[in-house]
């Protein structure tokens, strides 16, 4: 537990000093009229059998701030909370998707993190995905929102729900400065050599050294460390991880490296894996599409097409159906 606490207070997942440009597929609607939208949704919910199509077309084509305005107007009209009304009107994967859209990106991430730690066992795969792929700014906001929503600290919940050496390289814990613009080549070389000497070069792995370097260094620094590492080791960093650690810790290290290399490709690969078999992983699809549609889903779409040879839009068409499919396609924002 002491090791867990130490890592959680040191971890930084900053993606550089500059703000990342957004590439959303969902943008604020032009000529937005929240009163009109609220009236349409009220009618759609009251309709016998529920008019899901109207709800989908409004909620998936408005920004988060616009949905908040609709919710405000709906409550004025119907004297009822919109989220509660939607819960009563919808079900299954569509319900989860639409309710996810009623939260801000940080609120949705915080809710999904909490959900991944509910009940028996922890969904480490989801923890890895959500935390290792978020930048420093996003993680700070998630931590703040998590505290507001659940009256608990995210790092305490995570450390209380995991054990041993498994730290999903998560929960940021970002009381650290942004990375310097000065490239410290000596430190890069020292870290690359330290990773090699703590792993491939020796019998057994000095996991503490690996965790320290992975968790304490900035992303630009680590990217250069992984490149330099090839000069010391006969294996690249991902091959070395597979040889040196196993289980959940291996998955955590690999997830972080993949996100450092190209997080949009990581999301694309996750979506591809979730739709490559008959048993479609709707929870994974929903989480990625909802959480990234107002952030960088356009870049994920581009990586998906490049990596899989077909568009995300067409893949969703092939592997999902019904109202849930229509909602996903709207959030996807078009074909490539």
Domain 34-90: state its class: mainly alpha
Cα distances (Å, whole numbers) of residue 158 to 9, 43, 162, 171, 284:
12, 42, 6, 7, 20
pLDDT at 70: 98
- The dihedrals phi and psi of 288, each to the nearest 5 degrees, come to -70, -45
Domain 105-173: state its class: mainly alpha
With CA atoms as reference, report the closest residue to 273 among 242, 336, 319.
319
CB 34 within 8 A of CB 70: yes
pLDDT tens per residue, range 241-250:
999 888 877 8
pLDDT tens per residue, range 48-85:
889 999 999 999 999 999 999 999 999 999 999 999 99
Q: Architecture of 185-261 per CATH?
A: Orthogonal Bundle (1.10)
What is the location of CATH 1.10.220.10 in the chain? 34-90, 105-173, 185-261, 263-332
Q: Architecture of 263-332 per CATH?
A: Orthogonal Bundle (1.10)
Lowest mean pLDDT segment, chosen from 1-5, 55-59, 151-155, 186-190: 1-5
pLDDT tens per residue, range 227-271:
999 999 999 999 999 998 888 778 888 988 998 899 999 999 999
């Amino acid at each position: 537990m002491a090791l867990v606490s130490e890592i959680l207070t040191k971890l930084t997942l900053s993606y550089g000093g500059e703000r990342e440009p957004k590439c959303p597929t969902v943008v604020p609607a032009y000529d937005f009229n929240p009163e009109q939208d609220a009236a349409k949704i009220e009618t759609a919910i009251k309709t016998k059998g529920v008019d899901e199509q109207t709800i989908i077309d409004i909620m998936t084509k408005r920004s988060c701030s616009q949905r908040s305005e609709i919710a405000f107007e709906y409550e004025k009209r119907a004297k009822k909370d919109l989220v509660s009304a939607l819960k009563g009107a919808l079900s299954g994967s569509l319900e989860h998707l639409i309710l996810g859209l009623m939260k801000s990106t940080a609120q949705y991430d915080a809710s999904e993190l909490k959900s991944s730690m509910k009940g028996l066992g922890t969904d480490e795969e989801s923890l890895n995905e959500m935390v290792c792929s978020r930048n420093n700014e996003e993680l700070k906001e998630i931590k703040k929102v998590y505290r507001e929503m659940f009256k608990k600290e995210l790092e305490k919940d995570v450390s209380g729900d995991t054990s041993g050496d498994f730290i999903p390289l998560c929960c940021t814990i970002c009381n650290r400065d942004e990375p310097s613009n000065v490239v410290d080549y000596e430190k890069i070389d020292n870290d690359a050599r330290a990773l090699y000497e703590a792993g491939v070069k020796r019998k057994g792995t000095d996991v503490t050294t690996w965790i320290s370097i992975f968790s304490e260094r900035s992303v630009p620094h680590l990217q250069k460390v992984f490149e330099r590492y090839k000069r010391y080791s006969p294996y690249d960093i991902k091959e070395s991880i597979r040889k040196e650690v196993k289980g959940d810790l291996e998955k955590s290290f690999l997830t972080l490296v993949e996100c450092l290399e190209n997080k949009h490709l990581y999301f694309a690969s996750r979506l591809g894996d979730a739709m490559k078999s008959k048993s479609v992983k709707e929870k994974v699809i929903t989480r990625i599409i909802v959480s990234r549609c107002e952030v960088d889903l356009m870049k994920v779409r581009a990586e998906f097409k490049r990596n899989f040879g077909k568009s995300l839009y067409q893949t969703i068409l092939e592997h999902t159906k019904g109202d849930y499919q229509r909602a996903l396609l709207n959030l996807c924002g078009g074909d490539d």
